Structure 1
Amino acid sequence: MSQTFHEFVVHRSPALSRTAYLLTGDHQLAEDLLQSALARTYRHWRRIRDGDPEAYVRRVMYHQQVSWWRRRRFTERLEADPAPAQAGHPDPSDAAALRVTLAAALRQLTPRQRAVLVLRFYEDLTEAQVAAVLGCSVGTVKRHGHDALVRLRAVAPELVDPVPERSAR
Protein backbone atom coordinates (compact mmCIF):
# COMPACT_ATOMS: atom_id res chain seq x y z
CA MET A 1 0.00 0.00 0.00
CA SER A 2 1.36 3.41 -0.87
CA GLN A 3 2.32 5.66 2.02
CA THR A 4 0.17 8.56 0.78
CA PHE A 5 -2.91 6.33 0.52
CA HIS A 6 -2.29 4.99 4.03
CA GLU A 7 -2.01 8.56 5.39
CA PHE A 8 -5.20 9.55 3.57
CA VAL A 9 -7.11 6.61 5.07
CA VAL A 10 -5.82 7.28 8.59
CA HIS A 11 -6.66 10.99 8.50
CA ARG A 12 -9.96 11.03 6.57
CA SER A 13 -11.62 7.77 7.64
CA PRO A 14 -13.50 9.22 10.66
CA ALA A 15 -15.23 11.89 8.55
CA LEU A 16 -15.88 9.47 5.70
CA SER A 17 -17.26 6.93 8.17
CA ARG A 18 -19.78 9.47 9.49
CA THR A 19 -20.93 10.20 5.96
CA ALA A 20 -21.25 6.49 5.23
CA TYR A 21 -23.39 6.06 8.34
CA LEU A 22 -25.67 8.89 7.32
CA LEU A 23 -26.10 7.28 3.91
CA THR A 24 -26.84 3.79 5.23
CA GLY A 25 -28.34 4.34 8.67
CA ASP A 26 -26.47 1.28 9.97
CA HIS A 27 -22.97 1.06 11.47
CA GLN A 28 -22.04 -2.28 9.90
CA LEU A 29 -23.32 -1.28 6.46
CA ALA A 30 -21.45 2.02 6.80
CA GLU A 31 -18.21 0.15 7.51
CA ASP A 32 -18.80 -2.07 4.48
CA LEU A 33 -19.62 0.93 2.30
CA LEU A 34 -16.50 2.82 3.34
CA GLN A 35 -14.27 -0.24 2.92
CA SER A 36 -15.68 -0.87 -0.55
CA ALA A 37 -15.21 2.78 -1.53
CA LEU A 38 -11.63 2.81 -0.24
CA ALA A 39 -10.84 -0.39 -2.14
CA ARG A 40 -12.09 1.18 -5.35
CA THR A 41 -10.17 4.36 -4.59
CA TYR A 42 -6.93 2.45 -4.04
CA ARG A 43 -7.17 0.97 -7.54
CA HIS A 44 -7.14 4.50 -8.99
CA TRP A 45 -4.93 6.16 -6.37
CA ARG A 46 -2.13 7.21 -8.75
CA ARG A 47 -4.62 9.04 -10.94
CA ILE A 48 -6.59 10.81 -8.18
CA ARG A 49 -4.10 11.41 -5.34
CA ASP A 50 -3.07 14.84 -6.62
CA GLY A 51 -6.66 16.02 -7.09
CA ASP A 52 -9.37 15.72 -4.45
CA PRO A 53 -9.33 12.09 -3.30
CA GLU A 54 -11.90 12.69 -0.54
CA ALA A 55 -14.45 13.91 -3.06
CA TYR A 56 -13.71 10.82 -5.15
CA VAL A 57 -14.32 8.50 -2.18
CA ARG A 58 -17.57 10.29 -1.33
CA ARG A 59 -18.79 9.97 -4.91
CA VAL A 60 -17.94 6.25 -4.92
CA MET A 61 -19.83 5.84 -1.62
CA TYR A 62 -22.95 7.61 -2.92
CA HIS A 63 -23.03 5.55 -6.09
CA GLN A 64 -22.23 2.29 -4.29
CA GLN A 65 -25.04 2.89 -1.77
CA VAL A 66 -27.55 3.42 -4.59
CA SER A 67 -26.29 0.26 -6.28
CA TRP A 68 -26.68 -1.78 -3.07
CA TRP A 69 -30.14 -0.36 -2.51
CA ARG A 70 -31.25 -1.32 -6.01
CA ARG A 71 -30.02 -4.88 -5.51
CA ARG A 72 -31.61 -5.42 -2.09
CA ARG A 73 -34.82 -3.39 -2.28
CA PHE A 74 -35.77 -4.06 1.32
CA THR A 75 -36.26 -1.64 4.15
CA GLU A 76 -35.73 -1.96 7.84
CA ARG A 77 -38.15 -0.14 10.05
CA LEU A 78 -37.29 1.01 13.51
CA GLU A 79 -40.37 1.95 15.47
CA ALA A 80 -40.00 4.41 18.30
CA ASP A 81 -42.80 5.12 20.75
CA PRO A 82 -41.24 7.13 23.55
CA ALA A 83 -43.37 7.96 26.56
CA PRO A 84 -44.26 11.65 26.82
CA ALA A 85 -42.10 13.66 29.23
CA GLN A 86 -43.74 15.11 32.31
CA ALA A 87 -43.87 18.88 32.63
CA GLY A 88 -40.87 20.28 34.46
CA HIS A 89 -38.95 16.99 34.26
CA PRO A 90 -37.17 16.64 30.91
CA ASP A 91 -36.75 13.06 29.83
CA PRO A 92 -33.04 12.29 29.21
CA SER A 93 -34.01 9.90 26.45
CA ASP A 94 -35.58 12.68 24.34
CA ALA A 95 -32.36 13.23 22.39
CA ALA A 96 -32.02 9.49 21.74
CA ALA A 97 -35.67 9.26 20.68
CA LEU A 98 -35.15 12.18 18.30
CA ARG A 99 -32.14 10.43 16.72
CA VAL A 100 -34.11 7.19 16.36
CA THR A 101 -37.04 9.04 14.78
CA LEU A 102 -34.74 10.90 12.39
CA ALA A 103 -32.93 7.69 11.41
CA ALA A 104 -36.23 5.92 10.77
CA ALA A 105 -37.49 8.86 8.70
CA LEU A 106 -34.27 9.01 6.65
CA ARG A 107 -34.58 5.30 5.86
CA GLN A 108 -37.92 6.02 4.20
CA LEU A 109 -36.26 8.25 1.60
CA THR A 110 -34.86 7.01 -1.66
CA PRO A 111 -31.06 6.66 -1.74
CA ARG A 112 -30.81 9.64 -4.09
CA GLN A 113 -32.96 11.83 -1.80
CA ARG A 114 -30.91 10.76 1.23
CA ALA A 115 -27.69 11.50 -0.63
CA VAL A 116 -28.91 14.99 -1.55
CA LEU A 117 -29.85 15.77 2.07
CA VAL A 118 -26.55 14.42 3.42
CA LEU A 119 -24.54 16.42 0.90
CA ARG A 120 -26.56 19.62 1.33
CA PHE A 121 -27.10 19.71 5.08
CA TYR A 122 -24.40 17.50 6.62
CA GLU A 123 -21.57 18.08 4.17
CA ASP A 124 -22.76 21.70 3.64
CA LEU A 125 -22.24 21.61 -0.13
CA THR A 126 -23.94 23.99 -2.51
CA GLU A 127 -26.55 22.71 -4.94
CA ALA A 128 -24.02 22.99 -7.77
CA GLN A 129 -21.45 20.97 -5.81
CA VAL A 130 -24.06 18.30 -5.01
CA ALA A 131 -24.99 18.13 -8.68
CA ALA A 132 -21.33 17.64 -9.60
CA VAL A 133 -20.86 14.88 -7.02
CA LEU A 134 -24.02 13.03 -8.04
CA GLY A 135 -23.55 13.62 -11.75
CA CYS A 136 -26.90 15.31 -12.33
CA SER A 137 -28.29 18.80 -12.93
CA VAL A 138 -28.84 21.46 -10.27
CA GLY A 139 -32.57 21.23 -11.00
CA THR A 140 -32.52 17.53 -10.19
CA VAL A 141 -30.77 18.26 -6.89
CA LYS A 142 -33.42 20.88 -6.06
CA ARG A 143 -36.24 18.48 -6.94
CA HIS A 144 -34.80 15.60 -4.87
CA GLY A 145 -34.10 17.94 -1.96
CA HIS A 146 -37.62 19.35 -2.04
CA ASP A 147 -39.22 15.91 -2.34
CA ALA A 148 -37.05 14.56 0.50
CA LEU A 149 -38.02 17.38 2.86
CA VAL A 150 -41.70 16.99 2.00
CA ARG A 151 -41.42 13.25 2.67
CA LEU A 152 -39.63 13.82 5.99
CA ARG A 153 -42.33 16.25 7.10
CA ALA A 154 -44.99 13.70 6.20
CA VAL A 155 -43.45 10.65 7.88
CA ALA A 156 -42.06 12.44 10.94
CA PRO A 157 -44.00 15.65 11.66
CA GLU A 158 -42.56 15.66 15.18
CA LEU A 159 -39.19 16.63 13.68
CA VAL A 160 -40.56 19.94 12.42
CA ASP A 161 -40.46 22.81 14.90
CA PRO A 162 -43.73 24.70 14.76
CA VAL A 163 -43.24 28.29 13.70
CA PRO A 164 -44.88 30.59 16.23
CA GLU A 165 -47.66 32.59 14.70
CA ARG A 166 -47.31 36.35 14.66
CA SER A 167 -49.79 38.25 16.71
CA ALA A 168 -52.13 40.45 14.73
CA ARG A 169 -51.40 44.14 15.28
Structure 2
Amino acid sequence: MDAEDERGFREFVSARSPALMRLGFLLTGGDQHAAEDLVQAALAKLASRWRRVDAPEAYTKQIMYRQQVSWWRATGRRVEVVRGAVPDLPGRDRTHQSELRVVLRAALAKLTARQRTVLVLRYFEDLPDHEVARRLGCSVGTVRSTAHRSLARLREVAPELAEELEAAK
Protein backbone atom coordinates (compact mmCIF):
# COMPACT_ATOMS: atom_id res chain seq x y z
CA MET A 1 0.00 0.00 0.00
CA ASP A 2 1.53 3.32 -1.02
CA ALA A 3 1.36 6.46 1.13
CA GLU A 4 -1.76 7.84 -0.59
CA ASP A 5 -3.64 4.54 -0.23
CA GLU A 6 -2.58 4.29 3.40
CA ARG A 7 -3.83 7.82 4.08
CA GLY A 8 -7.17 7.01 2.43
CA PHE A 9 -7.49 3.79 4.41
CA ARG A 10 -6.66 5.55 7.70
CA GLU A 11 -9.24 8.26 6.96
CA PHE A 12 -11.87 5.60 6.21
CA VAL A 13 -11.09 3.73 9.44
CA SER A 14 -11.18 6.93 11.47
CA ALA A 15 -14.48 8.09 9.96
CA ARG A 16 -16.37 4.78 9.85
CA SER A 17 -15.08 2.87 12.90
CA PRO A 18 -17.85 4.06 15.26
CA ALA A 19 -20.59 2.93 12.85
CA LEU A 20 -18.81 -0.36 12.17
CA MET A 21 -18.46 -0.95 15.93
CA ARG A 22 -22.20 -0.34 16.43
CA LEU A 23 -22.93 -2.88 13.70
CA GLY A 24 -20.45 -5.33 15.21
CA PHE A 25 -22.01 -4.82 18.62
CA LEU A 26 -25.43 -5.68 17.22
CA LEU A 27 -24.19 -8.65 15.21
CA THR A 28 -22.44 -10.17 18.22
CA GLY A 29 -25.32 -9.68 20.60
CA GLY A 30 -23.63 -6.97 22.59
CA ASP A 31 -20.27 -8.65 23.17
CA GLN A 32 -17.86 -5.70 23.01
CA HIS A 33 -14.76 -7.87 22.59
CA ALA A 34 -16.31 -10.00 19.85
CA ALA A 35 -17.48 -6.82 18.10
CA GLU A 36 -13.95 -5.43 18.20
CA ASP A 37 -12.59 -8.71 16.81
CA LEU A 38 -15.19 -8.68 14.06
CA VAL A 39 -14.40 -5.11 13.01
CA GLN A 40 -10.65 -5.71 13.22
CA ALA A 41 -10.86 -8.85 11.06
CA ALA A 42 -12.99 -7.04 8.49
CA LEU A 43 -10.66 -4.04 8.35
CA ALA A 44 -7.63 -6.32 7.97
CA LYS A 45 -9.25 -7.97 4.94
CA LEU A 46 -10.23 -4.58 3.56
CA ALA A 47 -6.65 -3.27 3.94
CA SER A 48 -5.29 -6.07 1.77
CA ARG A 49 -7.80 -5.23 -0.98
CA TRP A 50 -8.06 -1.46 -0.47
CA ARG A 51 -6.90 -0.52 -3.97
CA ARG A 52 -9.46 -2.79 -5.68
CA VAL A 53 -12.53 -1.93 -3.58
CA ASP A 54 -14.93 0.67 -4.98
CA ALA A 55 -17.31 0.84 -1.99
CA PRO A 56 -15.21 0.23 1.14
CA GLU A 57 -18.03 0.57 3.68
CA ALA A 58 -20.32 -1.87 1.87
CA TYR A 59 -17.41 -4.25 1.38
CA THR A 60 -16.45 -4.07 5.06
CA LYS A 61 -20.03 -4.69 6.19
CA GLN A 62 -20.27 -7.66 3.82
CA ILE A 63 -17.10 -9.10 5.36
CA MET A 64 -18.54 -8.57 8.85
CA TYR A 65 -21.82 -10.32 8.00
CA ARG A 66 -20.08 -13.29 6.48
CA GLN A 67 -17.48 -13.51 9.25
CA GLN A 68 -20.21 -13.47 11.90
CA VAL A 69 -22.08 -16.26 10.11
CA SER A 70 -18.82 -18.24 9.85
CA TRP A 71 -18.15 -17.80 13.57
CA TRP A 72 -21.73 -18.76 14.30
CA ARG A 73 -21.40 -21.94 12.26
CA ALA A 74 -18.03 -22.78 13.78
CA THR A 75 -19.13 -22.38 17.38
CA GLY A 76 -22.62 -23.74 16.96
CA ARG A 77 -25.68 -22.27 18.54
CA ARG A 78 -24.91 -21.09 22.02
CA VAL A 79 -26.47 -18.66 24.40
CA GLU A 80 -24.41 -15.52 24.71
CA VAL A 81 -24.41 -13.05 27.57
CA VAL A 82 -24.90 -9.46 26.48
CA ARG A 83 -22.35 -7.02 27.89
CA GLY A 84 -21.96 -3.30 27.55
CA ALA A 85 -24.53 -0.77 26.46
CA VAL A 86 -26.73 -0.88 23.41
CA PRO A 87 -26.14 2.20 21.23
CA ASP A 88 -28.68 5.03 21.59
CA LEU A 89 -31.96 4.67 19.75
CA PRO A 90 -33.62 7.69 18.14
CA GLY A 91 -36.78 8.96 19.83
CA ARG A 92 -38.40 11.37 22.21
CA ASP A 93 -38.62 9.83 25.67
CA ARG A 94 -35.15 8.99 26.98
CA THR A 95 -36.45 7.21 30.08
CA HIS A 96 -38.70 4.97 28.03
CA GLN A 97 -35.84 4.34 25.61
CA SER A 98 -33.54 3.34 28.44
CA GLU A 99 -36.09 0.87 29.76
CA LEU A 100 -36.65 -0.55 26.27
CA ARG A 101 -32.90 -0.83 25.73
CA VAL A 102 -32.51 -2.95 28.86
CA VAL A 103 -35.42 -5.18 27.85
CA LEU A 104 -34.18 -5.43 24.25
CA ARG A 105 -30.64 -6.29 25.35
CA ALA A 106 -31.91 -9.14 27.51
CA ALA A 107 -34.25 -10.36 24.78
CA LEU A 108 -31.56 -10.27 22.08
CA ALA A 109 -29.30 -12.35 24.30
CA LYS A 110 -31.85 -15.14 24.03
CA LEU A 111 -31.59 -15.25 20.22
CA THR A 112 -28.99 -17.17 18.27
CA ALA A 113 -26.27 -15.28 16.42
CA ARG A 114 -27.98 -16.08 13.12
CA GLN A 115 -31.32 -14.74 14.34
CA ARG A 116 -29.66 -11.53 15.54
CA THR A 117 -27.80 -11.18 12.23
CA VAL A 118 -31.00 -11.49 10.20
CA LEU A 119 -32.76 -8.92 12.39
CA VAL A 120 -29.82 -6.49 12.21
CA LEU A 121 -29.60 -6.73 8.43
CA ARG A 122 -33.34 -6.52 7.95
CA TYR A 123 -34.23 -3.78 10.43
CA PHE A 124 -31.04 -1.94 11.46
CA GLU A 125 -29.47 -1.95 7.98
CA ASP A 126 -32.96 -1.83 6.35
CA LEU A 127 -32.04 -4.36 3.65
CA PRO A 128 -34.64 -6.21 1.58
CA ASP A 129 -34.95 -9.96 2.14
CA HIS A 130 -33.24 -10.87 -1.13
CA GLU A 131 -30.19 -8.80 -0.15
CA VAL A 132 -30.06 -10.32 3.33
CA ALA A 133 -30.23 -13.77 1.72
CA ARG A 134 -27.44 -12.91 -0.71
CA ARG A 135 -25.19 -11.58 2.05
CA LEU A 136 -25.77 -14.57 4.31
CA GLY A 137 -25.61 -17.15 1.53
CA CYS A 138 -29.06 -18.59 2.14
CA SER A 139 -32.49 -18.50 0.51
CA VAL A 140 -35.04 -15.70 0.82
CA GLY A 141 -37.38 -18.19 2.47
CA THR A 142 -34.77 -18.91 5.13
CA VAL A 143 -34.38 -15.19 5.82
CA ARG A 144 -38.15 -14.73 6.14
CA SER A 145 -38.66 -17.75 8.36
CA THR A 146 -35.68 -16.81 10.54
CA ALA A 147 -36.96 -13.23 10.90
CA HIS A 148 -40.46 -14.49 11.70
CA ARG A 149 -39.18 -16.92 14.35
CA SER A 150 -36.82 -14.28 15.76
CA LEU A 151 -39.57 -11.69 16.16
CA ALA A 152 -41.88 -14.32 17.67
CA ARG A 153 -39.15 -15.24 20.15
CA LEU A 154 -38.65 -11.57 21.06
CA ARG A 155 -42.41 -11.21 21.65
CA GLU A 156 -42.34 -14.33 23.80
CA VAL A 157 -39.41 -13.34 26.01
CA ALA A 158 -40.22 -9.61 26.14
CA PRO A 159 -43.95 -8.88 25.80
CA GLU A 160 -43.23 -5.24 26.67
CA LEU A 161 -41.57 -4.91 23.24
CA ALA A 162 -44.77 -5.88 21.40
CA GLU A 163 -45.61 -2.33 20.29
CA GLU A 164 -42.11 -1.70 18.93
CA LEU A 165 -42.03 -5.10 17.21
CA GLU A 166 -45.36 -4.41 15.51
CA ALA A 167 -43.93 -1.13 14.19
CA ALA A 168 -40.98 -3.09 12.74
CA LYS A 169 -43.23 -5.23 10.54
TM range (shorter): 0.7 to 0.9
Name 2:86's counterpart in structure 1: none
Name 2:149's counterpart in structure 1: 147
Whether contact under 8 Å (2:31, 2:82) holds in the other structure is no
Runs of 4+ in structure 1 over 4 Å off: none
Structure-2 separation of matches of 1:97 and 1:58 = 29
Whether contact under 8 Å (2:42, 2:64) holds in the other structure is yes
User: How much has 1:29 moved relative to structure 2?
Assistant: 2.6
TM-score, length-scaled by structure 2: 0.75
Aligned to 2:117, which of 115, 118, 123? 115
User: How much has 1:77 moved relative to structure 2?
Assistant: 6.3
Which aligned pairs between 1:5-154 and structure 2 lie closer than 5 A? 5-24=9-28, 25-47=30-52, 49-50=53-54, 52-69=55-72, 70-71=74-75, 73-76=78-81, 93-154=95-156
Structure possessing the higher relative contact order (Cα contacts under 8 Å, 6 or more residues apart)? 2
Q: Number of residue pairs matched? A: 148
Alignment root-mean-square deviation, CA? 2.5
Amino acid across the alignment from 1:6: R
TM-score, length-scaled by structure 1: 0.75
Over alpha carbons, which structure has the higher Rg?
1
Amino acid across the alignment from 1:38: L
Identity of aligned residues (%): 55
1:62-101, Cα deviation, whole Å (9 max, x unpaired): 23223444438352268xxxxxxxxxxxxx7543232111
Name 2:167's counterpart in structure 1: none
